[in-house]
Amino acid sequence: MSAVVSSGATPQEKVSFSLWQLALRRFKKNRLGVVGFWILAVMYFIALFAGFFAPYAIETQHYQSPLQPPQPIHIVHEGGLRLPFTYPMNVTRDPVTFEKNYAEDKTNPQTIKLFAKGEEYNLLGFKTNLHLFGIENGFYFPLGTDKLGRCLFSRMVVGSQVSLTVGIIGILISFSIGILMGGISGYYGGWIDMLIQRITEVLMSFPRLPILLALSYVIPANWPSTYVYLGIVAVLAFIGWAGLARVVRGLVLSAKSVDYTQAAKALGASDLRIILRHIVPNLTSYLIVTASLAIPGYILGESALSFLGLGVKEPMTSWGILLAEVREGGFGVLTRTPWLLIPGGMIILSVLAFNFFGDALRDAADTQTRN
């Protein structure tokens, strides 16, 4: 409908904007929201081409360098400027504690090459060995390694595929159920409304985390990791739809009594047409905003489950799993192996970005309060 308005406007008249264009304008004014959007765009882009951005495969164990600290990038070698390079790490053992100590080998600079050849991997169905960066001799671990000597940066990049998609897929599932249930409940009323309302009531009377834990423990431990992943998403979505169904029901109830819906009904429009053409368009902005604000809950939920060992499992990896390794190492992490906490930073960053983005969307979609 809005498209008709804007295309019908003659050029010499004042240009009129559709609702979506107005919302986009308001959104662009919110700087934090735009920043959030770009952070997310970059994160999802990297997740999509994770194999390319990760220098090594996530399961490759570099036995010679477990728990190696991150290798800094330098540009000055022996007083002279060079292309960005890194020094390999030399291992020495403390004679008393037998702890491994890493020190940079300042005599052997290794230039970091862009588009370097490395391990072969599968990129969107194609086999290739091209990586964004790498060095020719030895190994370069930008964020250090874990206790098995696996590259933390690679694991984090590949792990983002799990952590970032859990929210999207989870929302798709829970919104489909929520909208369907809420829509049926609000539109048809009667006994089916009663039934659905009771179901949502029961679901909502369980606190989220305990029931999440109990349900995720149902997933058999001997399933392949992709099934476990889907199972976790399903569990998260199953908990999430009830609240949405309630709100959708309320919105449908109010949209049902509006004059244009009544008019459509009087004209003999079918139920499906009324729902799809007259009711759903009124809900879209609300649903988009709710979705973007609900995704952080899924990201946090997945990381929490994986952290406890009830979520996604090896050989898959996620930010939660990476943090679980920190927990195994005890509380001395901040002094001994602080780089292992970086995946936690990614969780915070992605949730922050979603919150910024969602808040800005909500303000942009809000047509009631205008400044």
Partner 1 sequence: MLTFLLKRSLGILPTLLVVSFISFWVIQLQPTSFIDTYLEDPRFSPETVERLKIQYGLDQPVMVQYFNWLWGIITRFDLGYSFVNNRPVTSLIGEYLWWTIEVAGLSLIFSWLIAIPLGIFTAVRKNGLVDSVASFFGYIGLAIPDFLLGLLLFSLILGFGGTNVGGLFSNEFIDAPWSWAKFWDHLNHLWPAILVFGLNHIASLQRQMRASLLDVLNQDYVRTARSKGLAERIVTYRHAVRNALNPLVSSAGFSLSELVSGTLIGAVVMNLPTLGPFMYSSLLAKDQYVVMSILLLSAFMLMIGNLLADIGLAAVDPRIRYD
Taking CB under 8 A as the rule, does residue 236 contact partner 1?
no
Quick one: tokens of 227? 């099934």
State the residue for tokens 């169905």: 125
Which helix (H) or strand (E) element contains residue 140?
none
Of 181 and 347, nearer to partner 1 (C-beta) is 347
- The Cα 36–Cα 38 span in angstroms is 6
The least distance separating partner 1 from the CB of residue 203, rounded to whole angstroms, comes to 9
The least distance separating partner 1 from the CB of residue 345, rounded to whole angstroms, comes to 9
The least distance separating partner 1 from the CB of residue 297, rounded to whole angstroms, comes to 11
Q: What's the farthest any 2 CA atoms get from each other in the chain?
A: 89
Quick one: tokens of 72? 């800094």
Q: Are 66 and 99 in contact (CB under 8 A)?
A: no
Of 179 and 300, nearer to partner 1 (C-beta) is 300
The least distance separating partner 1 from the CB of residue 293, rounded to whole angstroms, comes to 11
The least distance separating partner 1 from the CB of residue 47, rounded to whole angstroms, comes to 18
Q: What residues numbered 293-312 form the site for partner 1, per CB under 8 A? A: 296, 300, 303-304, 307-308
The least distance separating partner 1 from the CB of residue 338, rounded to whole angstroms, comes to 8
* Residue from 105, 136, 201, 366 in contact with partner 1 (CB under 8 A): 201
Residue 123: name the closest of 42, 48, 184, 43 by CA: 48
- Look at strands 110-111 and 100-104 and give their pairing: unpaired
Stretch that binds partner 1, among 48-56, 97-105, 180-188, 214-222 (CB under 8 A): 214-222
* Residue from 12, 205, 368, 371 in contact with partner 1 (CB under 8 A): 205
State the residue for tokens 């303000």: 363
Taking CB under 8 A as the rule, does residue 70 contact partner 1?
no
Q: Map residue 366 onto helix, strand or coil.
A: coil
Adjacency order of strands within the sheet including 74-77: 74-77, 80-86, 110-111
The four Cα atoms 170, 176, 181, 187 give a dihedral, to 10 degrees, of 150
DSSP 69-99: PPPPPEEEETTEEEEEEEPPEEEEE-TTT--
State the residue for tokens 């049926």: 184
- Binding characters for partner 1, 318-357, by CB under 8 A (x = yes): -----x--xx---xxxxx-----x--x--xxx-xx--xx-
Quick one: tokens of 41? 């765009």
Taking CB under 8 A as the rule, does residue 33 contact partner 1?
no
Stretch that binds partner 1, among 114-122, 172-180, 212-220, 239-247 (CB under 8 A): 212-220
Q: How far is CA 321 from CA 49, 53, 93, 163, in A?
A: 21, 20, 29, 10
Of 113 and 246, nearer to partner 1 (C-beta) is 246
* Residue from 89, 157, 171, 215 in contact with partner 1 (CB under 8 A): 215
Of 244 and 346, nearer to partner 1 (C-beta) is 346
Q: How many residues bind partner 1 (CB under 8 A)?
A: 40
Give me the residues that bind partner 1 (CB under 8 A), please.
Answer: 198, 201-202, 205-211, 213-215, 217-218, 220-221, 296, 300, 303-304, 307-308, 323, 326-327, 331-335, 341, 344, 347-349, 351-352, 355-356
